[in-house]
Structure 1
Amino acid sequence: MASNSSLEIDGDMEVEAFRRLFPLRYYEHYLGQSVRPDARPLAHARETTIALGPVTSVDGSALVKIGETTMLAAIKLEVMTPAADLPDKGCLAVDFYMPPVCTPTVRPGRPAEAAPVISKQLSDVILSSGMINFEELSLISGKAAWMAYLDIYCLNADGSLFDAALLSAVAAFSHLKVPLVSVNDNGRVTTVTGELLESKSELELVNKERRKLSFKSLPFSLTCLLHGKYILADPTAEEEDIMDTLVTVVVDSLGRLVSLYKAGGVVLANTSTVKDCIALAKQRAAELHNILVESISEMEVD
């Protein structure tokens, strides 16, 4: 680990005091050595974990940690009447929440400014990536389909919020199992619980078994922080506060570019920097896909 004692400081000023007073100079000392103060290489993301199924009262859920950034995603399916122009497709509604407990910057009674922005980005990415075949959410053409409510709660906000939120959404959908539904004499479609299934053996089931959705590819993202000639992958909240040029690249599990977001900072005139960010995002996507596959395998074994 990089030693704070290597930082040249005039007089007897303590390193932590110097870090608080001159944070950019503090970080630039380490950037020259291609590491961060905790010795993490600039191109490396933080340790990432995925836990599937932490919430048993919903149809799919996941708890994701990227470093200290923590997201809980939960999906609830409800029967709805499909739109007249889309009779064979279900729908998706995404909400992202940042309660005051996740960061001191969110005050009680005041909604976080980032929350609606991340909600919109998540919805756009899930739809544009083609991750979900909404025809799989159809039950009866023109009469019944699934509305998927995806709620993501930020439990700890320590940078790269979109990356962790998207990963939790993808993991929750990977864990999702579509419930059984039945049609009554009046043509009403209702969800079948375990108790109802045991008590009425002659239910007319629309779907014969609980099933998972199929995915052609899955979207993953990597946020990069740009400072001069340096690219910092997966920045922490402290790094984001100090250096304000953020680029978030979304690629799918097949290595295709889905989208690129830039928030704040300078105009990206250097195409080589963009290419470097995309290359890092592709490496990260492959890494996250492997972590997700391992998490699914472990859950199936259990």
Structure 2
Amino acid sequence: MVLPDASGDVLSEMDVDAFRRLFPLRFFETHLVKSTRPDGRSLAEARETSSALGAVASADGSALVKIGSTRMLAAIKMEVMTPSKESPDEGCIAIDFHMPPICSPTVRPGRPAEAAPVVSKQLSDTISRTYIVWMLMVLFLMLLCCQQLLPFLTIPVVSMNDDGKVVVLSGDHGGKEPVNKGKRKLTLSSIPFSLTCLLHKNYILADPTAEEESVMETLVTVVLDSSGQLVSLYKPGGPVLAYTSAIQDCVALTRQRARELQTILDEVTSGMEVD
């Protein structure tokens, strides 16, 4: 069978699903020339996003976020730690990212997802640049989850036990003398907002799906702080970008996405009190 050019009416020549499987790149390009995507979004449109706080009762903070058909659960646990001699006044943040086989057919049972250490490192670098932390154990993390959780975390009251170790106090403190005067809110220097864009020829696709990423390889992830300043720019593999205009367009799309996420964040947290 002879297929028409990408700009032609290819979808009428054969079954859509078969064409999508056999010629995935051409399938997507037939949509790109019309400035649309298979899921109905425009090129600059991110997937629908929603979230809910308090998904894990045993955690100090948790959030369940849905972006399109993707769901991510984040849980944060605060623990007392001994600071290093090099940084006696600094805490730390530990990120543990899991992607079990049920999440994707690309993840094999019994083996960790290849993307897991990369995602953990990228998230750790981004959050460390934008947050002043105490001691956080972050599990199953998505950046949007963290945006919602951290403003509502409080540093607990602690005391010294008989062995000289710092322990977290609860309730009436059990008669022990607290080291700090009371709970205090976690200090945030800024809130990061991120967006991944897919670059293909002269097109820029905001918030690509896994299928789109598998077909078109050039990805750029932009992270901005709450003031719109660039925090990080991440480009894993793909060809070298010859022009800065594409990056500037990605930054502009990220600023637009940041405003959308801020609205979602305000809606989720409205009416909630920070201790």
> Would the TM-score normalized by the shorter structure come out above 0.5?
yes
Matches of 2:164 and 2:62, distance apart in 1? 31
Please state if 1:151 is matched with 2:151. Answer: no
Task: Note the C-alpha offset of 1:260.
Answer: 0.6
Return the letter of the residue paired with 1:178: I
Task: Note the C-alpha offset of 1:298.
Answer: 4.4
Q: Which 10-residue stretch deviates more, 206-215 or 286-295?
A: 206-215
Query: Counterparts of 1:212-251 in structure 2 under 5 Å?
Result: 212-251=185-224
Please state if 1:256 is matched with 2:229. Answer: yes
Matches of 2:53 and 2:181, distance apart in 1? 24
Query: Counterparts of 1:47-196 in structure 2 under 5 Å?
Result: 47-128=48-129, 131-134=130-133, 137=134, 147-152=135-140, 165-184=142-161, 187-194=164-171
Matches of 1:280 and 1:96, distance apart in 2? 26
Matches of 1:238 and 1:31, distance apart in 2? 14
Cα-to-partner distance string for 1:183-221 (whole Å, 9 max, x where unaligned): 345543211233xx37x3x33123344333132311111
Matches of 2:162 and 2:17, distance apart in 1? 71
Task: Note the C-alpha offset of 1:82.
Answer: 1.0
Matches of 2:71 and 2:163, distance apart in 1? 45
Matches of 1:80 and 1:39, distance apart in 2? 49
Cα-to-partner distance string for 1:1-47 (whole Å, 9 max, x where unaligned): xxxxx943465x21111111111111111111111022201001011
Please state if 1:287 is matched with 2:260. Answer: yes
Q: Which 10-residue stretch deviates more, 261-270 or 241-250?
A: 261-270
Tell me: CA distance 1:105–1:298, structure 2 relative to 1, closer, same or farther (3 Å).
farther
Return the letter of the residue paired with 2:260: E
Q: Which 10-residue stretch deviates more, 275-284 or 178-187?
A: 178-187
Q: Is the 8 A contact 1:60 1:76 kept in 2?
A: yes
Q: Is the 8 A contact 1:176 1:213 kept in 2?
A: yes
Matches of 1:62 and 1:10, distance apart in 2? 44
- If asked which structure has higher relative contact order (CA below 8 Å, sep 6+), I would say 1
Give the match for residue 45 of structure 1: 46
5+ residue gaps, structure 2, are 1-7
Q: Which of 2, 8, 11 is 2:10 aligned to?
A: 8
When normalised by structure 1's length, the TM-score is: 0.82
Q: Is the 8 A contact 1:60 1:177 kept in 2?
A: no
Return the letter of the residue paired with 1:132: Y
| SS of the residue 1:80 aligns to | coil
5+ residue gaps, structure 1, are 1-5, 138-146, 154-164
When normalised by structure 2's length, the TM-score is: 0.90
Matches of 1:8 and 1:225, distance apart in 2? 23
| SS of the residue 1:240 aligns to | helix
Q: Which of 277, 294, 300 is 2:250 aligned to?
A: 277
Task: Note the C-alpha offset of 1:168.
Answer: 1.8
How many residue pairs get matched?
267
| SS of the residue 1:263 aligns to | coil
Cα-to-partner distance string for 1:67-125 (whole Å, 9 max, x where unaligned): 11211111111111111222222111111111111111101111111000010001111
Matches of 2:201 and 2:96, distance apart in 1? 35
Matches of 2:237 and 2:131, distance apart in 1? 31
Matches of 1:127 and 1:119, distance apart in 2? 12
Matches of 1:47 and 1:275, distance apart in 2? 24
Matches of 2:151 and 2:10, distance apart in 1? 49
Task: Note the C-alpha offset of 1:60.
Answer: 1.5
